[in-house]
Amino acid sequence: VENENLGRRINVKKAFVLMIVIMVLLAVCKDVFANSWITLDYPGAIRSKPKAIDGSNIVGHYYDGDEHGFLYDGTNWTTLDYPGATQTEVHGIDGSNIVGAYYDASDPHGSFYDGTNWTAIGYPGSVYGRAYGIDGSNIVGYYYDGSAWRGFLYAPTAPSL
């Protein structure tokens, strides 16, 4: 009987310690999940569409009557507009290099922005297209060749696929 009572006391102590551990974990996890979601709305925009993140930099596009690209560094919002375009979309970022699309009269074309200069990029012979992702100097996207949509990889030295 004495051993049985000792076993019960040990099990009660284990259960109590386990209950304390669970309560602490729940309290910590509650705070972690409560602080994990942040709304990203470009100031004054009707809609904001974040598309990619690299470190603390987030890029995307927003609509305020016109479509504009944006860069958000966690504190400051910067509008990114391709020169002369009717609208700009931003889809990817790697370091200070940003890719997306700009529209001329009606068609989208791929774009590259290095933080200073804008460059149009497009698959040779394409009617229109978009750049969607960047990693180092490699850019992926898609284009329309007049009969079908196709994907592309632009790489200064193309890998063997």
Of 7-11, 59-63, 109-113, 128-132, the range with the lowest mean pLDDT is: 7-11
Which tens digits make up the pLDDT trace of 103-132? Answer: 998 789 999 999 999 999 999 989 999 999
Q: What is the pLDDT of residue 35?
A: 67
Q: Residue range 58-71: average pLDDT? A: 97
Query: Contact, 19 vs 37, CB < 8 A?
Result: no
At residue 10 the predicted structure's pLDDT band, cuts being 50, 70 and 90, is: low
Measured between alpha carbons, how far is residue 156 from residues 137, 138, 141, 153 in Å? 7, 7, 15, 10
CA angle 51, 30, 53 (to 5 degrees): 15
Distance (Å, whole) CA 138 – CA 109 = 17
Q: What is the pLDDT of residue 20?
A: 78
Q: Is the pLDDT of residue 28 over 80?
A: no
| Greatest Cα-to-Cα distance within the chain, rounded to the nearest angstrom | 91
